[in-house]
Amino acid sequence: RDLTPQPVEAEHSASLIRGVAAGIVKDGGKVGGFDCYTTSDVLGGSGLSSSAAFEVCMGAIFRGEYNDNDMKRFDQVKNAMISQYAENVFFGKPCGLMDQMASSVGGLVYIDFADPKNPIVEKVDYDFAHSGYTLCTIDSGADHADLTDEYAAMPVEMKAVAAFFGKEVLHDVDEAAFYRHIAEVRKVTGDRAVLRAIHFFNENRRVKSQVLSLIHISEP
């Protein structure tokens, strides 16, 4: 009944259930009670999107039980955005939308977040198993659970670099201009912000290259 953030629940799964319910109601949907039991092989706090998977699961339950499984109003993209809202506002982690979108849409996908409110999602038709590959995860022993503050610093520092060029986000900054002024940017924003900007530009380029390669390999 109470769909407001509860400080005592911060960083606990109860906050995610409450947050997803609040997000659905905020978007004109209905919610109600249910009994469920969940089990997972994903290690909590391991950086493998365990919270995103949980949020998306809760959204699917509310959609099915109380909203006639309305896939037009609460499609996979909307479910992901509601899940992000739950994690940002109720759980207390200022995450982006990538983990939730990957968990909700599923499979191998290519996502353009230029407009966060209307992300463009495209499925990449590539069969790892058929090509002789196996996607594996390993337990590195690293725990992400206590890194919320460090995680929150990422967008702040990246936006600081963007602000140097009069932009809100790095997506709108010309990469060539960034490298031309990198010395001045370092003085204003610091080394770590500059390194994160370099990572951003490199990753965007690498992802596009990967998608093109996989599409090419998949063609007969």
Selection from 42, 127, 27, 4 nearest residue 81 by Cα: 27
Let me know if 99 is a catalytic residue.
yes
**Which one from 99, 115, 149, 172 is the annotated catalytic residue?**
99
Residues labelled catalytic: 99
